[in-house]
Amino acid sequence: MPSASSTWTENRPRVGLRGPDLRELWAYRELGVFLALRDIKVRYKQAAFGVAWAIFQPLAGVVVFTVVFQRVASVASDGIAYPLFAFVGLTVWAYVSGSVTKATQSLVSNAALVTKVHFPRLMVPLAAVLPGLLDFFIAMPVLGVLWAVYGVAPGWAVLTFPLWVVAAIIVSLAVGLLLSALNVRYRDVNQAISLFIQLWLFLSPVAYPSTSVPDRWRVLYALNPMSGVIEGFRWALVGGTPPGWSLLLSAGVTLVLLVAAVVYFQRTERQFADVI
């Protein structure tokens, strides 16, 4: 006869609309750290250049963008030296686009863990947006070199830099969370993510300033969460145009997207093990 202490306990996701259980997420924080560190190790395993890729990639992009957009297309840069302008945009974009892609694929790539172990599934896409921060901060000292080359000294706005980092994380999590849940049921999402990222790049002020967008399109353009984030980074780091009303619109869209992503994720979470 089994003892009373050996009774069966079934762990299943709760039903109905609810917010994320922050206490449960905190309890499983070590799992999130493990997943993030594992992704970092896999990324640089047997890589000849190692973390140098975090510096080389945005610098290569700066060279290409400078030749194509400044020298050939004569794209304006709001009075900022174009290499500085492009470096900030590309570095931020590299973090967000990479994090969204990893988060989208995170549940499917961890199918064995998702189907066999009880833990808050929200931890998987959350852990996927963290490793990219390592590349982001490794690339930041290059900005100091560019400051010296172009004689730029950051002003007081640089104190807002941590806020823009948080904003980039929130945008990455909001988009990645929604796409990760959709990718479990519709594998077309994984096929379409590359196209989505490419289109999003050209709809964001990476190679050009948002001030170059015609006035009649400004409101629609501000609905892109990345428009506010990238312009905010430029203002903080290289003296770009200060954020205006469009930032409030971008922030509002980001928060709505985050709430919608969490709600959809929580509602579909209990079906992940069945369809993944």
Domain residue extents for the chain? 18-40+48-275
Residue 104, pLDDT > 90, answer: yes
Instruction: Report helix angle 245-268 to 225-238, nearest 10.
Output: 130
Among 52-66, 87-101, 249-263, whose mean pLDDT is lowest?
52-66
pTM: 0.89
User: pLDDT-based confidence at 83, cuts 50/70/90?
Assistant: very high
Q: How far is CA 36 from each of CA 32, 57, 117, 134, 215, rounded to the nearest angstrom?
A: 6, 21, 18, 11, 42
User: pLDDT-based confidence at 1, cuts 50/70/90?
Assistant: very low
Per-residue pLDDT tens digits for 108-125: 888 888 888 788 889 999
b/e 57-91 (16+ beta carbons within 10 angstroms → b): bbbebbeebbeebbeeeebebbebbbbbbbbbbbb
pLDDT, averaged across the chain: 86
Comparing CA positions, the residue from 59, 276, 254 lying closest to residue 189 is 276
User: pLDDT-based confidence at 48, cuts 50/70/90?
Assistant: low
